[in-house]
Amino acid sequence: MTGEEMHNSNIEHHGIFYRGNLVGAVTYRAPLGRRRLDWNEAGDLVPRPAGELKLDDLPSPMSGRAKQFMDPPTEDEIVESEVFGGTEIIELNRICIGVDMPNLASCGLAQSQDRFLESSSCPSDTEYFLTLVRADFDASMIKALADRGWTLRSISEPTEAGNREHKTIHDEYKWVWICPVDIVEDQQKTLTDWEN
């Protein structure tokens, strides 16, 4: 795909293959807008504060699932906040192609993000990855991301896309996950050390 064919916010595309067939893809893009991130006293990236998330206001069964997977801090528990924009946060969009295996694209995410960080396309100021996962996906997806160092940050509510055609994915609630790039790099070093 040439630069002229790529959306100007898209940086790189990776195909995900299963038994020689293209079954998914990951697109790395600079998200529109800016994102605030928060940390607790231990220096851990945390979900948005309870006063912003309002988990009780979500429709059932989303409210119960959100409470099961998220423990939002109080405002007092947040000791540091910072706003990121541009390519400081890179969004990873996953898609499955022609197969009824919704988790497959995310299974290829780990290898894909490693490859992206090693590529010349990765902006030098990238500090975080962001991805959205449909909130009705099962707990195995949540466990896979959490085990890889991702933090469940918030919930994205259904929206109308103003700059493109409507797709049913916009009607879904989504988990918003954030991962510091240095965690991914540390995992790469650990795997390299183990292989040697």
Alpha-carbon distance 78 to 75, whole Å? 6
Query: What pLDDT sits at residue 170?
Result: 66
Mean pLDDT of 88-113: 73
Alpha-carbon distance 188 to 194, whole Å? 10
Name every residue whose Cβ is closer than 8 Å to that of residue 185 and which is 6 or more positions away in sequence: 117
In a domain, 186, yes or no: yes
Q: Is the pLDDT of residue 194 over 50?
A: no
In a domain, 5, yes or no: no
Q: Is the pLDDT of residue 173 over 80?
A: yes
In a domain, 60, yes or no: yes
Domain count, the chain: 1
Query: What pLDDT sits at residue 64?
Result: 87
Query: What pLDDT sits at residue 105?
Result: 56
In a domain, 2, yes or no: no
- Domain holding 142: CATH number? 3.40.630
Q: Is the pLDDT of residue 138 over 90?
A: no
Query: What pLDDT sits at residue 89?
Result: 94
Q: Is the pLDDT of residue 30 over 80?
A: yes
**pLDDT per residue over 142-160, tens digit each?**
777 777 788 999 988 877 7
Domain that holds residue 15: 10-195
Please report which confidence band the pLDDT of residue 51 belongs to, taking 50, 70 and 90 as the band edges.
Answer: confident
In a domain, 4, yes or no: no
Please report which confidence band the pLDDT of residue 42 belongs to, taking 50, 70 and 90 as the band edges.
Answer: very high
Contacts for 33-37: CB closer than 8 Å, 24+ residues apart: 33/85, 34/83, 34/84, 34/85, 35/83, 35/84, 35/85, 35/89, 35/130, 35/178, 36/81, 36/82, 36/83, 36/84, 37/81, 37/82, 37/83, 37/84, 37/128, 37/153, 37/178
| 115 to 28, 79, 98, 109, 194: CA distances (angstroms) | 11, 33, 24, 10, 18
Q: Is the pLDDT of residue 171 over 60?
A: yes
In a domain, 151, yes or no: yes
In a domain, 3, yes or no: no
In a domain, 96, yes or no: yes
**CB-based contact 172:135 (threshold 8 Å):** yes
Alpha-carbon distance 194 to 46, whole Å? 30
Residues facing residue 154 across a β-bridge: 176
